[in-house]
Amino acid sequence: MADNTLENGLATQGFDDDGVPGQRWEIVKDGIFQTYSSGREFAHYIGEERSRGSCRADHWSSIPIVRIPNLFLMPGKTPLSPEELMADVRHGIYFEGMDSFSIDQWRLNFQFGGNAVWEIKNGRKAGMLKAALYQSRTPTFWNACDATCDENYWQAHGVTNCGKGDPMQVAQMTHGAAPTRFRNIRICRGRDS
């Protein structure tokens, strides 16, 4: 879900820098891509009647460019706690927070780490790890998603340094999610973990 009207969202705005009202829209619905974020200049090229209101500039002297909206994964529709999410995981890794990350220009290949990383054994946290991260390709990663905790565990987190453009412009936005499970994703661990 993309939402430039999210209460207290870092990318929330009444209007973008093209004068288009902030909006909420589905990026993916039932596993099927719906539409892109857009600005007035290119909306008609992707079959949109109007812009999604996502053009922002970081300074009065910068040209507005399409920026990431507040973006989040909707919570699961059935009651599910993090403990229940882990219960049928024989061996896995539980990442909390955000640490190091790297993603290519196509937003296809990536790797992410976490502030706290836990090993899961037989459905429970078994101890902390260090120097662990996960790697994947975007379609593979999202196709591996098989469960998300319910709205009681959904949280919003801010990103204050999303860089884009040349010359570089920095913007802020909010990511939101509840704990979510992905199966068979590549995990890399350091020698000491």
- The yes-or-no verdict on residue 25 having pLDDT over 70 is yes
Among 47-51, 86-90, 103-107, the range scoring the smallest mean pLDDT is: 103-107
Mean pLDDT of the chain: 92
| Paired tokens of 40 | 């007035």
| Paired tokens of 100 | 């190091």
Distance CA 127, CA 50 (A): 50
- The yes-or-no verdict on residue 193 having pLDDT over 70 is no
pLDDT of residue 190: 66
- CA dihedral sign, ordered 134, 151, 107, 98: negative
pLDDT band at 168 (very low <50, low <70, confident <90, very high): very high
φ/ψ of 21, rounded to 5, equals: -60, 145
Question: Distances from the Cα of 65 to the Cαs of 16, 53, 97, 101, 178, in angstroms?
Answer: 10, 11, 28, 23, 30
106, 87 in Cβ contact below 8 A? no
94-134, pLDDT tens digit by residue?
999 878 888 888 889 999 998 899 999 999 999 999 878 99
CA angle (118, 124, 130) in 5-degree steps: 10
Tokens 């922002």, residue located: 56
Domain ranges of the chain: 1-72, 75-164+176-193
131-143, pLDDT tens digit by residue?
789 999 999 999 9
